[in-house]
Amino acid sequence: MTELIVDVTDPIALIGGAQLSPQHLNILQTLTQTFVAADSGADHLLGAGISPAAVIGDFDSLSDDARSAFSPQLHHVTEQDTTDLEKTLNRISAPVIIGAGFLGGRLDHSFAALNALARSAGMPLILLSDTECCFRAPNTPWQIDLPQGTPFAILPLHDVVASTAGLVWDMDEMALSPIGRVSSSNMTEQDRVTVTITGAAIVTLPLDQLAAAIDVVRVE
C-alpha cells in the first residue's frame, strides 16, 4: 500500500498545472487552508503566495523558482505509468478533495484528468473547470438538493444504466454510453434529485453548486 503524504480531517485543495482561474483559489481558500500541488501546480500557488502542505509529482514541469521555494515540501515520485494527478491522489487522504488546474488547456490532459476521476470510485474527489464542478457518481442511490432549473448532466465513461427523479428529462433505467446516448443539457425540475447509476459516470453541475457536490461525495 502506498504511504500517505498528506492525511487530514479537513478538505484538501489539490492544484494542477493547467489553466487556473483566480476565482478557484478564492473559492478554495474559503473551504480549507490545506493545499497540495501536483507538480507544476506549485507554480500557481507560488504566484498566489500560498504555501502547500506537499508538492507531489515527477517534477518534469516544475519551475526552478517553485522547486526552490517549496524545497521542504517536495515529494518526488518517479512512476512513469501514472499522471501527476494520479500520483498525488494515491498519496493524500481527506473527507473531500477538490481539484483545480486539471481541466482546461490541453485536451489530452483534460481527458486524462476525467479518466482519473472516472476511476476514482469511493474517493471523495471533485474537479473544477472555469464554469462547472464535476464528480464521479456514487455507485449506490443518492440524492442532491439543488435550485430548480439547475443544469445537471450525466456523462458516461463506459456503458452505464441511469435512473433519476427530479429532472426535467428523467431517466428510467436508461442505457447511456460514451459512444451512444448521454444525458447532457438536462436540468432540475424539483428541489431534490434522486439518482441511481450503475457504472462509471461523471456528473457536472454549475460551479456555484459546489457545496451541493461536496455534500454528495464527502466521506465522514
Mean pLDDT of 108-130: 91
Residues 6 or more apart whose CB falls under 8 angstroms from that of 5 comprise 54, 56, 75, 91, 92
Question: Left (φ > 0), alpha (ψ -120 to 50) or beta: where does 9 sit?
Answer: alpha
Cell of 78: 518517479
Q: Any idea which fold 142-217 has?
A: Jelly Rolls (2.60.120)
Q: Which CATH class is domain 6-130?
A: alpha beta
CB distance 125 to 217 below 8 Å: yes
pLDDT band at 195 (very low <50, low <70, confident <90, very high): very high
Q: Which helix (H) or strand (E) holds 217?
A: helix 210-217
2-43 residue pLDDT tens: 899 999 999 999 999 998 988 999 999 999 999 999 999 999
- Is residue 131 classed exposed, middle or buried when 0-12, 13-18 and 19+ CB atoms within 10 A define those classes? exposed
Domain boundaries, the chain: 6-130, 142-217
Task: Quote the pLDDT of residue 79.
Answer: 87
Mean pLDDT of 120-142: 94
Looking at per-residue pLDDT, the higher value among 102 and 1 belongs to 102
The residues that bridge with 133 in the sheet, in sequence order, are 128, 205
Task: Quote the pLDDT of residue 1.
Answer: 60
Distance CA 139, CA 53 (A): 31
- The structure's pTM equals 0.95
Which has the closest alpha carbon to 143: 217, 43, 44? Answer: 217
Q: How many residues does the chain have?
A: 220
Taking residue 149's Cβ as centre, other Cβ atoms within 10 Å add up to 10
Residues 6 or more apart whose CB falls under 8 angstroms from that of 179 comprise none
Which has the closest alpha carbon to 117: 97, 92, 131? Answer: 97
Q: Output phi, psi for 40, to 5 deg.
A: -70, 0
Mean pLDDT of 145-155: 97
pLDDT band at 119 (very low <50, low <70, confident <90, very high): confident
Task: Quote the pLDDT of residue 28.
Answer: 98
Cell of 24: 478557484
